[in-house]
Amino acid sequence: MLITQRKFVIDASRERIWDLIDRALFSTLDLQRMSVVDEHNITAQVPVKMGPIKIPMDLRVEITDATPLENLAATLHVKSKGGIIRLSTQTSIRLSRVGEDKTEVACTAAAEEMSALKRAVFLWKVKSFSGDVFDGVRNYLEKMA
Amino acid sequence: MSNRTYDVQADVVVIGYGAAGAASAITAHDNGASVILLEKMREGGGNSRVFGGNIAIASSMEFADYLDKITFGSTDRETIQTFVEGNLKLKDWIAKLGGELQPFVALKVLYPATKSKGDVSFPGLRGSETVRRYNLKGPEECPCDRMWRLISSNVERRAIKVLTGMPARDLIKSQQGEVEGVIAESEGKTLAIKARKGVILCCGGFENDEAMKFDCLGVKHIKFVGNPGNTGDGIRMAQKVGAGMWHLNRSATNIGFQAPGFEAAFYIFFSDVGFLYVDQLGRRFLNETYADPYEYASVLSNFDDREFRYPRIPFYAVMDEAVMRAGRLAYGTAGYNKNLYRWSLDNKAEVDKGWITRSRNLSELAKQIAVAESALANTVNTYNSYCGALKDPDFGRAKENLKEIHPPFYAIKLWPTILNTQGGPRRDKEARVLDPDGKPIPRLYSAGEIGSIWGFRYQTATNMAECLVFGQIAGRNASNNSAIVD
């Protein structure tokens, strides 16, 4: 189920964007207590804003694709303490060359099919979280590229 | 033949049960030889059980051009070609053992990071685009554990005789100059083992021999993260039977922390870029966020002849709360300590232990790390101003890696740290150990880190590849010899 999309162009080569992309994603997520389990799996805690407060959630980032210069894809598995809330989002950041030294960055987030209840309670949060992450990636790349 | 009496016999005796020893033993066995595999420590594995877990595999013979360039004339082209021929067949060999490789994904989430993001250590050189890094698929968290499980299970399946806790002490040479056996020792008892066809040295290097490290690497106080059993035994044994040496001064340097009570050090990485290094005079001395093992080696080994000390051994990493919260400093999936100690995710346990110091301000920090306060303040304030300007004119830290640090400050003492050494008895393309004139010592072979072929610069993940390639070559050649007849 597609939930969020962002597309933007950065004034930098694909090589430079590729070099920065994982850092852009991880710094936007504001990871804490990070542990690199292996190169496909990273666990951490991530603070998720729920209304006025930030709740620490357990996150596992499962890298599903890292094709150099083309695509970085990961499944973000989020779980609250106690496991009451469990969500997985497939995130993909695709790079395309645009002209000489510009790169189009296409970000998509898709969630697992949700029950009506889950959708009612969490869909808005997942959408805003993904949107915030992609906006953060854009800000980071615009600043650092 | 010598006049010695032997306690046990086998066609091939392999000294050292890591990946190279296992590959040698498996190949010799499959070639019809009886094999005894000696291991000094109580369990096998050596560095093969604690390394990064990756293996470099090429896609074409052009890889030989690349390796030729980076070994810089220290290894003959024939041996390099032989390695690459074997390297190209490694996927199939690993598949025959029951393993499946997956491409390694190089993410830049830990610092210091390699300058080149990807598989190749020296990009731009001819043939560099042919290499990729892989590791084994498997349920184990640590890729090195998956490799160890695969190769040790294949040793067990073949019922190859493995004697652990049995360090080899000497090689036995016959009057004709052939290596015909090994003296091993356990709990004060000596065992003389006859090798009817050959002996293969797979016992690693000398990273846990302080005198040898100083003599060969030229620097004192280098720590190691690998197997404490690697004390140069095989090198001394080979020297005693007339082996020539090569590559003794080669190693790849990272940074690590030596905790009290631990034989091996911990590799240290930072999950956030808000940190810097200071030497004993409170000064920065390199780009902290990029890991160049050769820059580390030359910069850290700088010796002050007036003060008669190494001003950067040890040095300190200074960081703030953000780095401490971001993730554990010690690399969790490699190194000898990975099964001995679980570093806390927020590093607080290590603060409690005193491994990491906490200071409320720069003045306190300077006292904690015994550095002049004015120098330290100048360094930190200058660094923070560079962060504001997003430019580091001193050491060229990239703008995305410039992040201010603020009190409270944390500091950890660090040393130059290696996983393994590369030098030892020189070998040829047939894995035969050579004397100083380049003549093979009959029936003596070697594989792996003990005299590896990596004699100048090192392409990451090729030590394991070499263990497996030359392990097979040594196993095959040793077992193809005619047996010494009594």
Question: pLDDT tens digits for chain A (145 residues)?
Answer: 888 999 999 999 999 999 899 889 888 888 889 888 776 788 999 888 777 888 888 999 888 888 889 999 999 898 888 877 788 889 999 999 998 899 999 999 998 766 777 777 777 778 888 898 999 999 999 999 8
User: Cα B78 vs. chain centroid, distance in angstroms?
Assistant: 24
pLDDT of residue B179: 98
Is the peptide bond preceding residue B440 cis, with omega within 30 degrees of 0?
no
Interface contact flag, B325 A33, Cβ < 8 Å: yes
Chain B positions contacting chain A at CB under 8 Å are 53, 104-110, 117-118, 135, 141-143, 271, 325-328, 331-333, 345-346, 399-400
Phi/psi of residue A129, nearest 5 degrees: -65, -50
Asked if residue B50 lies in contact with residue B338, where contact means CB atoms within 8 angstroms, the answer is yes
pLDDT per residue as tens, chain B (486 positions): 567 899 999 999 999 999 999 999 999 999 999 999 999 999 999 999 999 899 999 999 999 999 999 999 999 999 999 999 999 999 999 999 999 999 887 777 889 987 666 788 898 899 999 999 999 999 888 889 999 999 999 999 999 999 999 999 999 999 999 999 999 998 889 999 999 999 999 999 999 999 999 999 999 999 999 999 999 999 999 999 999 999 999 998 999 999 999 999 999 999 999 999 999 999 999 999 988 888 899 999 999 999 999 999 999 999 999 999 999 999 888 899 999 999 999 999 999 999 999 999 999 999 999 999 999 999 999 999 999 999 999 999 999 999 999 999 999 999 999 999 999 999 999 999 999 999 999 999 999 999 999 999 999 999 999 999 999 999 999 999 999 977
**How far A56 CA sits from the closest chain B CA (Å)?**
13
Residue B305 pairs with which residues in a beta bridge?
A: none
**How far B306 CA sits from the closest chain A CA (Å)?**
43
The string of DSSP letters for B63-108 reads: HHHHHHHHHTTSS-HHHHHHHHHHHHTHHHHHHHHT--EEE-----
Interface contact flag, A35 B346, Cβ < 8 Å: no
Residue B377 has a CB neighbour count (10 Å cut-off) of: 16
**How far A78 CA sits from the closest chain B CA (Å)?**
17
pLDDT of residue B2: 61
d(CA B339, CA B44): 14
Q: Which residues of A touch B332 (CB under 8 A)?
A: 35-37
ipTM over 0.95: no
Mutate one of B101, B107, B289, B345 to test the A interface: name it (highest A CB count within 10 A). B107
Is the peptide bond preceding residue B408 cis, with omega within 30 degrees of 0?
yes
d(CA A99, CA A19): 19
Interface contact flag, B400 A40, Cβ < 8 Å: no
Note the pTM of the prediction, 2 decimals.
0.93
Interface contact flag, B325 A144, Cβ < 8 Å: no
Pick from A22, A32, A44: CB nearest B107 = A22
pLDDT of residue B4: 82
Asked if residue B399 lies in contact with residue B205, where contact means CB atoms within 8 angstroms, the answer is no
pLDDT of residue B117: 63
d(CA B293, CA B77): 25
pLDDT of residue B485: 79
Interface contact flag, A38 B143, Cβ < 8 Å: yes
Compute CA distances B342 → A135, B329, B339, whole Å.
36, 11, 7
d(CA B477, CA B22): 15
Asked if residue B434 lies in contact with residue B5, where contact means CB atoms within 8 angstroms, the answer is no
d(CA B366, CA B360): 11
**How far B347 CA sits from the closest chain A CA (Å)?**
9
Token pair 């003389």 is found at B192
Helix H or strand E segment including B297: helix B293-300
| Residue count (chain A) | 145
Phi/psi of residue B454, nearest 5 degrees: -85, 90
d(CA B233, CA B169): 7
25-84 of A, contacting B, C-beta below 8 A: 26, 31-40, 42, 44, 63, 66, 68
Phi/psi of residue B135, nearest 5 degrees: -140, 175
Q: Is B392 exposed, middle or buried (0-12, 13-18, 19+ CB in 10 A)?
A: buried
